Copies of this chain bind each other. A is one copy, B any other.
């Protein structure tokens, strides 16, 4: 069943026209992301008992370890509570190892354990396959545009979120 129509963006509609939720871009992005996160969450969760925040931490540690929690926050775009909890679960599962930064004993140095690395390496092809399947419908030019638009819109959203004034006429 097709729930969401395509056509002009809602914001191009004049003020007297009815508001069309199904064309409202933030709504469509939200539905899209929820569907995709759910599908991908099943992917990690079913076989490895990982939630998405945990997978994000593992993916970043695989590349940049050792990292402190604060650096994980920056790299994963998660807040420090989320990171703290993801790290705690991964440590309990034996997928990461924590040591204390000797130069600053508040900071931790986090890295994947060998079993964590093995899980990571097993998941990566699945994640790539899922992404490929998701965009399989798109022509090469559309993929490039999508990639570029995601960059632009992320910048924009970060700016608007930080400014906190998304509705003002600025």
Contacts and interface: CB of A to CB of B under 8 A. Distances in A.
A145 B157 CA distance: 19
B26 A37 contact: yes
A118 interface: no
A151 interface: yes
Contact of A21 (B31, B59, B138): B59
Copies in the complex: 2
Nearest to A121: B19
A4 B155 CA distance: 8
Interface stretch (A38-46, A89-97, A106-114): A38-46
A39 to B, nearest CB: 4
The number of chain A residues touching the other chain, given as a range, is 35 or more
Contacts of A23: 147
Contact of A36 (B15, B26, B31): B26
Given A32-B150, A32-B153, A166 B133 contact: yes
Nearest to A20: B63
A56 interface: yes
A81 interface: no
B60 A134 contact: no
A129 to B, nearest CB: 5
Contacts of A88: none
Nearest to A29: B33
Contacts of A19: 59, 62-63, 120, 124, 127-128
Shortest beta-carbon contacts, A-B, top 9:
A6-B151, A35-B157, A33-B33, A11-B132, A11-B131, A21-B59, A39-B166, A126-B167, A130-B166
7 contacts: A11-B132, A19-B63, A21-B59, A21-B60, A25-B131, A43-B167, A126-B167
